[in-house]
Structure 1
Amino acid sequence: MAHPVRSDAEVLSVASEGVYHRLVLSARDAAPRVRPGHFATLAVGGPQSAMLLRRAFSIHRADVEAGTVELVVAERGEGTRELARARPGDRLDLIAPLGTPFPLPDGPVSALLVAADYGSAPLLALGEEIKRRGGQVGFILGAATADRLYGVEQARALTQDVLVVTEDGSAGLQGLVTDPLAQAVKAIDATVVHACGPMPMLREVSAIALGLGVRCHTAVEAAMACGVGICMTCVLPVVGEDGVSRFVRSCTDGPVFDGARVRWDDIGTVPPDLEGAAAMGGQG
């Protein structure tokens, strides 16, 4: 469970990396609490802004000694464009860390880390931690085009087992990030898959891993209006340890879930067997 703190975080640097922007923020109270898979939220526009909702980002990495937290931002709308224009010395309202991180092994494991676009941001620190515990890692990094890849060189600094896949063939293999997944699992004898990216990709990754008998942990990309479990806009249907399906909040119960327990086909619906579904269906 995360123990978040709110910080008036100074922007130390902003670097363009492909189509993305990497922000390094001073956050001495938050940095020691961060684990791979945690996320952070930033307020945008200032107190008088019409942009009321905070923006959520996976934490790329945290440096306890430097007291910093790093985020990778893709420009998608007015709020993220404003963050991309931040300059050193600016101050941002940061809450971190939030959510449930990736589970870490007690000892050496062989793990395959799979990401689309900048979904690789939290996986690179995860790979470092797995290696620190004596394990080995491999990566599959994919995107539609080469400029939308993130962290390829960082991954190659960790392992020679890095596959790059782009839909247009502008870098690496041509195809989808899931195309070489089964072969990659077997190549490194992976016992666990960790994945971060859009829901359709995570659904396919989970299905392939399940078919191979490999555990799969997925960091979902869900729209989060509050980030702290109040608004219920980020719920997903998930099968609990007791076998009962319930809506759970991506921001507090996740964003990392056991891929075998997420009901991927039912996302966006209210399954009739979901606990409480009858009451939900009766609301006018």
Structure 2
Amino acid sequence: MAHPLQVRARVLDIAPAGAYSRFLLRAPGVAGRVRPGHFAAVAVGGEDSAMLLRRTFSIHRADPEQETVSLVVAERGRGTRELLRSRVGDTVDLVAPLGTAFPQPVGAMTALFVGGGHGSAPLFALAEQITGQGGAVGFILGASTADRLFGVDSARKLTPDVLVTTEDGSTGIKGRVTLPLAEAVRAIGAEAVYSCGPMDMLHAVTEVAAAEGARSFCAVEEAMGCGTGLCMTCVLPVVGEDGVSRFVRSCVEGPCFDGARVRWDDIGTVPADLYGAADAGAQR
């Protein structure tokens, strides 16, 4: 789990990135604590706003020397629209880093990274870490349309093994990221698949990875109320190392999970065998 700070972060730059905006923030003390997969929570609307809940974003980059972090923001509703009205020089109330990051790779390995839309944002720092340790990486980046892709050029700077998919066929392979996934795992001999994107995509990626004998690590995009583990609105059914299924919080135990332990088909339900469920107690 991360050790977050709450800081007033200054907006250094806001740059368009396809359908998204990339925010560069100076956040003293934060960047050195960030690991790939951590996220940030940003207050929106100012001190007098009725929007009480922070908005959460995967951390795209962190530079301890410059004391900066960057976030990729997609306009989704009132809160993100308010944030997108920010200007260079403004300050935002930032809490970061939050959550549990991807497992840290040890030594050289071969990994495939799969991103859906701007869900690819937290994947690049980990890919750079793996190549820096003598490993090899590949990417599959997908979106509904070409303008909703993120990071294709960054991926191509790291490896020639980059596939692009769009559901409307506007660029790359027509279809979803899972279409070329099995072949891509085999082509590079991936030991692990790291993914971030919509839940149904993560479910499908995990199934394909398992069928190909690769580990699956997923950063879930679950709606979060508080981002700190208090409100329990982002729980998922996950099988623990002891074999017992429990609800765990995406914002604390996640957002990064071993995909094989997430009970994808049971998300949104209370499985009868879940620890603490009424039926589970009767079974004991």
* Alignment check: 8 A CA contact 2:120 2:151 kept: yes
Distance 1:93 1:280 in 2: 42
**Would you say 1:135 and 2:117 are equivalent positions?**
no
**Would you say 1:187 and 2:174 are equivalent positions?**
no
Deviation at 1:126, TM superposition (A): 1.1
* Alignment check: 8 A CA contact 1:20 1:73 kept: yes
**AA in 1 matched with 2:88:** P
Q: 1:7 to 1:205 in 2, by over 3 A?
A: same
| 1:203 counterpart SS class | helix
| 1:12 counterpart SS class | strand
Distance 2:150 2:231 in 1: 31
Deviations 1:64-98 (A, max 9, x none): 11110000000000110111121111000000000
Distance 1:279 1:15 in 2: 52
**AA in 1 matched with 2:243:** G
Deviation at 1:255, TM superposition (A): 0.2
| 2:8 counterpart SS class | strand
Distance 1:84 1:279 in 2: 46
For 1:216, the equivalent position in structure 2 comes to 216
For 1:31, the equivalent position in structure 2 comes to 31
**AA in 2 matched with 1:63:** D
Distance 1:221 1:59 in 2: 13
For 1:2, the equivalent position in structure 2 comes to 2
* Alignment check: 8 A CA contact 1:120 1:150 kept: yes
Q: Which moved more, 1:82-91 or 1:236-245?
A: 82-91
Distance 1:252 1:177 in 2: 28
Deviation at 1:279, TM superposition (A): 7.9
Gaps of 5+ in 1: none
**AA in 2 matched with 1:168:** D
Distance 1:93 1:277 in 2: 38
For 2:228, the equivalent position in structure 1 comes to 228
For 1:94, the equivalent position in structure 2 comes to 94
Gaps of 5+ in 2: none
**AA in 1 matched with 2:79:** G
Q: What TM-score, normalized to structure 2?
A: 0.98
* Alignment check: 8 A CA contact 1:36 1:126 kept: yes
Structure 1 residue ranges (4+ consecutive) displaced by more than 6 angstroms after TM superposition: none
Deviation at 1:210, TM superposition (A): 1.0
* Alignment check: 8 A CA contact 2:274 2:280 kept: no
| 2:137 counterpart SS class | strand
Q: Identity over aligned residues, as a percent?
A: 66
Deviations 1:128-171 (A, max 9, x none): 11111111100000000000000000000111000000001101
Q: What TM-score, normalized to structure 1?
A: 0.98
For 2:22, the equivalent position in structure 1 comes to 22
Deviation at 1:28, TM superposition (A): 2.0
Q: What are the residue-to-residue correspondences of 1:32-51 with 2, within 5 Å?
A: 32-51=32-51
**AA in 2 matched with 1:234:** C
Distance 1:130 1:27 in 2: 26
| 2:200 counterpart SS class | helix
Deviation at 1:260, TM superposition (A): 0.3
* Alignment check: 8 A CA contact 2:272 2:279 kept: no
For 1:108, the equivalent position in structure 2 comes to 108
**AA in 2 matched with 1:115:** G
Distance 1:163 1:119 in 2: 16
* Alignment check: 8 A CA contact 1:104 1:130 kept: no
Deviation at 1:280, TM superposition (A): 10
**AA in 2 matched with 1:42:** V
Deviations 1:153-207 (A, max 9, x none): 0000111000000001101000011110000000000000000000000000001
**AA in 1 matched with 2:87:** R
RMSD, aligned CA: 1.3
